[in-house]
């Protein structure tokens, strides 16, 4: 079953080569019970490691089941360890964060075979520990831990059992019990090869091999020769399935158990991701809230509104004639109203601020001169009283309609209709108030006083110029046609030919809305980008912590490889742990970010809004961070050689 042909193993110690085995020839038949003895440094552990495919020969050939496994690659060697060989270690090598069934289950996870919980309990029955199924290793005695290690070694029914000083850490009574158990297993046909310093332990074997300085110095039978079983040897299984559903579930379960055992380290690891995700969610919610508020404010004015303002928007010197033309007047508004096919209503505007007073109260308030169409075009509704009529505009009447903020500041919230206010020391009769609209990104919409446009020009500001002309279009679908028509008509009104640049600007509500949304989108992306930096910092923290975890768990990695884990299995294990940590950080980060955004929304002039894409972005980014920064530690862990990992201190 096992045959060595001139096997040599040389370890490199810098520039010096240390020969651990020197041209060893050996044959072991199936069903034998072999003890290997020798002084420290004689090469007996190296011999056992080569038999167990934990290491490979430097020279020579090792045949197992008539296959030259010395030529096998890393993946094939893992298959051999999983299907043909069981390991019993001197120091047990049990994982403290798994219970007894979890430790026994490890080889099955990597075998790809189907099994149930009863399968694991049956293995515990073999070592008389069924009642200890859910106990952790730190709750067991030394003998019980060794029995669990034996059950783990037997769970895949391997034909070969390798034991490295199986009684070395046990008292003499427990040691005898373990050796009796091994002896019974040998009687069932399992080939057992053990290393020991104790001649009393060696007497349980049927064959004793002594080794010294890397060479076998004696090989003799002890007691009655064991009859070789007639059963055919099992084939070396080839397991190439990347990641089955069962294996994924088990890896996630083991990862969670590993994470839970290091609570403080897990918390510190997730903290960076948590803060990063919370920052992204809260910053995006602030930007989106501002965008939503400004959009609502603009839409309140109507989607079918055009704004005409003086000035071409081009820099440079203008002639005096052009400067005169570069003004809007009531004549322009009348010309548009009479000649346009698409205009529904038109309102010339004069805007400025002035001191408004009532009795002993006074304030600096926005004064707006308009015509009778102001409420419809600007989306204001009357609360008390009425709005002024066309006659008031024609005769330049001194009447005013005021916003709720003015009512609160000057009249202490009382109904002001019928009272007189002073605008730049000129008396105006308050004939109505507006329904409150609230503050917005454009200022406080309730802090206004609206008077007839003619009154504003002649009696208050002393100028015939208009600040703008606002137009409501009959149909939203005619906005482009109305804009082209207004441009054409105003050029005629200003005496400009068609090929001349206009000395005014026509802007639609939709155009303003698009520009504002574009600006706030950039603002939101900027906030999100700045917040994402903390996610990168959190990712670096994860990589550092995972590297520390790899160093702490090198022996565990060695154990997993010894029971048949492939490189990819180790890679998956650490990647899954990294992703779970990031997922937890992402989940709590979203909760924290939502909480922070709600608090900010309560304190800011607009409500915050958490779009679903920000949650997906935060989760997706945290997943990518976990995957990206977890790859290097995972690859580092997967590339460890099993024998080097098991020997790591």
pLDDT beyond 90 at 539: no
pLDDT beyond 90 at 474: no
Where is mean pLDDT largest: 216-220, 476-480, 565-569, 622-626?
A: 216-220
Per-residue pLDDT tens digits for 490-500: 888 888 888 88
Report d(CA 112, CA 128) in Å as an integer: 26
**Other C-beta atoms within 10 Å of 422: how many?**
15
Look at residue 387 in the predicted model and tell me its pLDDT.
95
Report d(CA 103, CA 92) in Å as an integer: 11
Q: Mean per-residue pLDDT for 429-455?
A: 84
pLDDT beyond 60 at 313: no
Look at residue 443 in the predicted model and tell me its pLDDT.
64
Of 532 and 28, the one with more pLDDT: 28
227 falls in which pLDDT band (50, 70, 90)? low
Look at residue 583 in the predicted model and tell me its pLDDT.
83
231 falls in which pLDDT band (50, 70, 90)? very low
Name the token pair of 466: 């208009």
- When mean pLDDT is compared across 355-359, 435-439, 488-492, 569-573, the lowest value belongs to 435-439
449 falls in which pLDDT band (50, 70, 90)? very high
Per-residue pLDDT tens digits for 28-71: 999 999 999 999 888 898 999 999 998 889 999 999 988 999 88
Q: Mean per-residue pLDDT for 339-360?
A: 90
Look at residue 258 in the predicted model and tell me its pLDDT.
79
Alpha-carbon distance values, 178 to 139, 163, 202 (Å): 19, 11, 13
H or E, element range at 184:
helix 172-187
Is the separation of the CB atoms in 605 and 592 below 8 Å?
Answer: no
pLDDT beyond 50 at 321: no
Q: Can you state the percent helix, strand and coil of the chain, rounding each to 5? A: 50, 20, 30
Q: Give the SS3 label for residue 218.
A: strand
Q: Mean per-residue pLDDT for 396-416?
A: 93
Residue 378 CB contacts under 8 Å (≥ 6 apart), including other chains: 301, 347, 370, 470
- Beta-sheet pairing, 399-402 with 426-434: parallel
Q: Give the SS3 label for residue 315.
A: coil
Report d(CA 463, CA 480) in Å as an integer: 32
Read off the pTM.
0.63
Alpha-carbon distance values, 611 to 533, 561, 585, 606, 614 (Å): 20, 46, 19, 15, 6
Look at residue 36 in the predicted model and tell me its pLDDT.
93
Per-residue pLDDT tens digits for 540-559: 777 777 777 778 788 888 88
HSE, side-chain direction, 13 A CA sphere, residue 44 = 25
pLDDT beyond 70 at 296: no
Is the separation of the CB atoms in 3 and 19 below 8 Å?
Answer: no
244 falls in which pLDDT band (50, 70, 90)? low
pLDDT beyond 80 at 237: no
Q: Where are the domains of the chain?
A: 2-242, 257-296+515-647, 312-502
pLDDT beyond 70 at 326: no
Look at residue 240 in the predicted model and tell me its pLDDT.
46
pLDDT beyond 60 at 229: no
- Beta-sheet pairing, 160-164 with 85-88: parallel
Radius of gyration of the chain (CA): 43
Report d(CA 2, CA 420) in Å as an integer: 113
Look at residue 390 in the predicted model and tell me its pLDDT.
93
340 falls in which pLDDT band (50, 70, 90)? confident
Per-residue pLDDT tens digits for 165-206: 888 888 888 888 889 999 989 998 899 999 998 888 888 999
Is the separation of the CB atoms in 127 and 150 below 8 Å?
Answer: yes
Domain at 2-242, CATH from 3.30.420.40, 3.40.50.2300, 1.10.357.10, 3.40.50.300: 3.40.50.300
- When mean pLDDT is compared across 40-44, 323-327, 340-344, 375-379, the lowest value belongs to 323-327
Q: Mean per-residue pLDDT for 92-120?
A: 87
Q: Exposure pattern of 605-643 as b/e (b: 16+ CB <10 Å)?
A: ebebbbbeebbebbbebbeebbeebbbebbebbbebebb
Angle between the 567-603 and 74-83 helix axes, to the nearest 10 degrees? 100
- When mean pLDDT is compared across 120-124, 207-211, 384-388, 475-479, the lowest value belongs to 475-479
Look at residue 3 in the predicted model and tell me its pLDDT.
92
Report d(CA 556, CA 562) in Å as an integer: 10
- When mean pLDDT is compared across 126-130, 250-254, 287-291, 586-590, the lowest value belongs to 287-291
328 DSSP 8-state letter? B
Look at residue 585 in the predicted model and tell me its pLDDT.
82
317 falls in which pLDDT band (50, 70, 90)? very low
Report d(CA 577, CA 252) in Å as an integer: 7
Report the percent of the chain where pLDDT is more than 90: 26
Residue 550 CA from chain centroid, whole number: 22
575 falls in which pLDDT band (50, 70, 90)? confident
**Other C-beta atoms within 10 Å of 303: how many?**
13
Report d(CA 147, CA 44) in Å as an integer: 23
Name the token pair of 21: 């085995």
pLDDT beyond 70 at 297: no
Q: What are phi and psi of 405, to 5 degrees?
A: -65, -40
pLDDT beyond 70 at 517: no
What mean pLDDT value characterizes the chain?
Answer: 83
Q: Give the total residue count for the chain.
A: 649
């Amino acid at each position: 079953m096992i045959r060595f042909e001139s096997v040599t193993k040389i370890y490199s110690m810098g520039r010096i080569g240390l020969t651990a085995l020197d041209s060893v020839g050996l044959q072991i038949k199936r069903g034998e019970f072999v003890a290997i003895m020798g002084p420290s440094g004689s090469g007996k552990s190296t011999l056992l490691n080569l038999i167990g495919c934990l290491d490979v020969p430097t020279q020579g050939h090792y045949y197992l089941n008539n296959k030259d496994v010395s030529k096998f690659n890393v993946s094939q060697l893992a298959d051999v360890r999983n299907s043909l060989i069981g390991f019993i270690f001197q120091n047990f090598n049990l994982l403290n964060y798994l219970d007894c069934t979890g430790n026994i289950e490890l080889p099955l996870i990597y075998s790809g075979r189907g099994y149930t919980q009863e399968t694991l309990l049956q293995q515990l029955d073999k070592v008389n520990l069924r009642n200890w199924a859910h106990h952790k290793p730190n709750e067991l005695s030394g003998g019980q831990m060794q029995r669990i290690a034996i059950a783990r070694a037997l769970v895949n029914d391997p034909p070969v059992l390798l034991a490295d000083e199986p009684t070395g850490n046990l008292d003499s009574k427990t040691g005898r019990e373990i050796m009796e158990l091994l002896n019974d297993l040998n009687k069932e046909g399992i080939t057992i090869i053990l290393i020991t310093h104790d001649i009393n332990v060696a007497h349980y074997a049927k064959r004793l091999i002594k080794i010294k300085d890397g060479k076998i110095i004696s090989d003799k039978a002890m007691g009655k020769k064991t009859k070789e079983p007639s059963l055919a040897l099992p084939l070396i299984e080839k397991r190439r399935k990347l990641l089955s559903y069962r294996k994924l579930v088990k890896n996630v379960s083991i990862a969670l158990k590993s994470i839970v055992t290091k609570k403080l380290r897990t918390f510190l690891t997730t903290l960076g991701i948590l803060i990063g995700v919370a920052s992204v969610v809260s910053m995006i919610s602030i930007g989106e809230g501002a965008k939503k508020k400004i959009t609502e404010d603009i839409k309140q004015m109507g989607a079918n509104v055009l704004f005409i303002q003086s000035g071409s928007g081009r820099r440079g010197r203008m002639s005096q004639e052009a400067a005169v033309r570069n003004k809007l007047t009531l004549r322009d508004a009348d010309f548009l109203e009479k000649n346009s096919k698409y205009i529904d209503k038109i309102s010339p505007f004069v805007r400025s601020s002035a001191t408004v007073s009532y009795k002993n109260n006074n304030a600096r308030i926005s004064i707006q001169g308009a015509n009778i169409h102001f409420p419809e075009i600007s989306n204001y509704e009357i609360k008390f009283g009425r709005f002024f009529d066309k006659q008031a505009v024609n005769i330049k009447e001194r009447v005013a309609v005021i916003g709720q903020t003015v009512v609160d500041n000057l009249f202490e919230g009382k109904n002001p209709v019928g009272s007189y206010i002073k605008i730049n020391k000129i008396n105006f009769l308050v004939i109505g108030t507006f329904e409150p609209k609230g503050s917005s990104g454009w200022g406080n919409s309730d802090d206004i006083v609206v008077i007839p446009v003619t009154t504003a020009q002649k009696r208050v500001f002393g100028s015939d110029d208009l600040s703008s002309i606002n137009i409501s279009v009959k149909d939203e679908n005619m906005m482009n046609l109305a804009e082209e028509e207004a441009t054409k008509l105003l050029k005629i009104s200003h005496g400009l030919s068609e090929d001349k640049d206009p000395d005014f600007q026509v802007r639609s509500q939709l155009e303003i809305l698009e520009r504002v949304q574009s600006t706030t989108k950039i603002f939101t992306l900027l906030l999100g980008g700045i917040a994402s930096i903390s996610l990168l910092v959190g990712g670096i923290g994860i990589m550092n912590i995972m590297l520390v975890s790899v160093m702490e768990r090198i022996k565990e990695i060695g154990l997993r490889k010894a029971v048949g884990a492939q490189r990819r299995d180790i890679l998956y294990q650490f990647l899954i742990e990294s992703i779970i940590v990031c997922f937890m950080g992402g989940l709590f980060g979203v909760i924290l970010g939502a909480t922070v955004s709600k608090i900010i929304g309560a304190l800011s002039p607009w409500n915050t809004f958490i779009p679903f894409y920000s949650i997906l972005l935060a989760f997706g980014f945290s997943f990518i961070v976990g995957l990206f920064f977890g790859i290097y530690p995972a690859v580092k862990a997967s590339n460890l050689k099993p024998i080097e990992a098991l020997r790591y201190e």
